[in-house]
Amino acid sequence: MRSPRAVRLAWTLLLAALTGVAAAQPFRESDVFWHLSLGRAVLRQGARVVHEPHAFLAYGRPCTAQEWLWDVATFALHRAFGWTALAWLVIALASASALCVVRLLVSNRDEPHPGALALVSAIVMSGAHQALDERPESATMVLLPTFMLAGRWCVEAPARRARLARGAALVAIELLWAQVHPTFILAPAVFVLIALPAAWRTRERDTALRDHALTAAALALGLGSSAFGAKVFHNVLSHARGDAVRHISDMVAPTWGFFHPLRLESGFLFVVLLALGTAGAAITRKVAWGEMGLAALGAALVATAVRGVAQGSILAGPFALEGALALVALTPLRGRSLLTLAALIPAGLLTHHVAAPGAAWFPPLASTVLAPGWYPRAAAAWLRRAPRGTPVLTTFASGAPLGFWLDGRVRTFVDSRTPLYFDDAEYGLARAAWFQADALERTAERFGTAAAVVERDVATCDLLRAHSRWYPVAVDAHTTTFVRRGAGLDGAAVTRLAPCGLDYLTPDACADGGEALRREIAALTGVADAAFVRYLQAERMWRCHVPGIPPASLQAMLASTEDSAVFGVQRDTLAAQLLVADGHLPEAYELVTGMMLRGDPLAYHVVLAPLLARRDHARLRVLLDGVVRALGDDAPGDVRGILAQLCTTRGDFECARLHGLRAAAMGSPSAVPALCWLRNHDPDRAVRADAEAWVATLRREHPTVECRRRPDGPAQR
Q: Sort residue 494 into left (φ over 0), alpha (ψ -120 to 50) or beta.
A: beta
Q: Is residue 498 part of a domain?
A: no
**Of 484, 509, 537, which residue sits at a domain end?**
484
258 shares its domain with 386: no
Question: What CATH number has the domain bearing residue 426?
Answer: 3.40.190
In 3D space, the residue among 624, 627, 631 whose CA is nearest the CA of residue 652 turns out to be 624
Alpha-carbon gap, residue 151 to 145, rounded angstroms: 10
Q: Tell me: pLDDT of 602 over 70.
A: no
In 3D space, the residue among 593, 628, 597 whose CA is nearest the CA of residue 608 turns out to be 593
Q: Is residue 142 part of a domain?
A: yes
Alpha-carbon gap, residue 583 to 560, rounded angstroms: 21
127 shares its domain with 29: yes
| In contact, 399 and 412? CB cutoff 8 Å | yes
Q: Is residue 713 part of a domain?
A: no
Alpha-carbon gap, residue 277 to 285, rounded angstroms: 12
Q: Is residue 494 part of a domain?
A: no
In 3D space, the residue among 559, 457, 537 whose CA is nearest the CA of residue 503 turns out to be 457
415 shares its domain with 340: no
Instruction: Tell me the pTM.
Output: 0.85
Alpha-carbon gap, residue 555 to 576, rounded angstroms: 9
Cα torsion at 54, 60, 61, 62 (round to 10°)?
Answer: 40
3-state SS track over 161-230: HHHHHHHHHHHHHHHHHHCCCHHHHHHHHHHHHHHHHHHHHCCCHHHHHHHHHHHHHHHHHHHHHCCCHH
Q: Is residue 707 part of a domain?
A: no
96 shares its domain with 228: yes
Q: What is the pLDDT of residue 9?
A: 87
Q: Tell me: pLDDT of 144 over 60.
A: yes
345 shares its domain with 387: no
Q: Tell me: pLDDT of 373 over 80.
A: yes
Q: What is the pLDDT of residue 261?
A: 76
147 shares its domain with 19: yes
290 shares its domain with 414: no
Mean pLDDT, range 479-488, rounded to an integer: 91
In 3D space, the residue among 704, 634, 708, 703 whose CA is nearest the CA of residue 677 turns out to be 708
More confident residue, 636 or 662: 662
Q: Is residue 714 part of a domain?
A: no
**Of 354, 389, 406, which residue sits at a domain end?**
354
Tell me the β-bridge partners of 475: 480
347 shares its domain with 430: no
Residues of the domain holding 173: 4-354
Q: Is residue 361 part of a domain?
A: no
How many domains does one find in the chain? 3
| In contact, 504 and 345? CB cutoff 8 Å | no
Q: Name all contacts of 68-72 with Cβ < 8 Å and 24+ positions apart.
A: 68/38, 68/39, 68/42, 68/179, 68/227, 69/176, 69/179, 69/180, 70/35, 70/39, 70/136, 70/139, 70/179, 70/180, 70/181, 71/35, 71/36, 71/38, 71/39, 71/42, 72/39, 72/42, 72/43
By percentage, how much of the chain surpasses pLDDT 70?
A: 89
Q: Is residue 544 part of a domain?
A: no
257 shares its domain with 338: yes
- Sheet of 410-411: strands edge to edge? 410-411, 390-394, 451-455, 479-484, 470-475
Question: What CATH number has the domain bearing residue 599?
Answer: 1.25.40
**Of 323, 354, 385, which residue sits at a domain end?**
354
Q: Tell me: pLDDT of 60 over 70.
A: yes
Mean pLDDT, range 122-149, rounded to an integer: 92
Q: What is the pLDDT of residues 615-659, one digit of tens each?
A: 667 777 877 787 788 778 878 888 888 889 888 888 899 999 999
For 396, residues 6+ apart whose C-beta sits below 8 A from its C-beta are 30, 414, 415, 416, 418, 430, 434
Q: Tell me: pLDDT of 303 over 50.
A: yes
Alpha-carbon gap, residue 557 to 540, rounded angstroms: 12
257 shares its domain with 191: yes
- Identify the burial level of 262 via C-beta atoms within 10 angstroms of its C-beta, where 0-12 means exposed, 13-18 middle and 19 or more buried: exposed
240 shares its domain with 147: yes
Q: Tell me: pLDDT of 502 over 70.
A: yes
3-state secondary structure of 357: coil
Q: Tell me: pLDDT of 364 over 50.
A: no
In 3D space, the residue among 29, 263, 11 whose CA is nearest the CA of residue 137 turns out to be 29
In 3D space, the residue among 663, 683, 665, 672 whose CA is nearest the CA of residue 714 turns out to be 672
Q: What pLDDT band is residue 264 in, cutting at 50, 70 and 90? A: low
Q: What is the pLDDT of residue 336?
A: 52
Q: What is the pLDDT of residues 155-169, one digit of tens each?
A: 888 888 888 899 999
Q: What is the pLDDT of residue 233?
A: 76
Q: What is the pLDDT of residues 310-363, one digit of tens each?
A: 999 999 999 999 998 888 777 665 555 555 555 556 655 565 454 434 334 444
332 shares its domain with 471: no
By percentage, how much of the chain surpasses pLDDT 90?
A: 46
- Identify the burial level of 533 via C-beta atoms within 10 angstroms of its C-beta, where 0-12 means exposed, 13-18 middle and 19 or more buried: buried
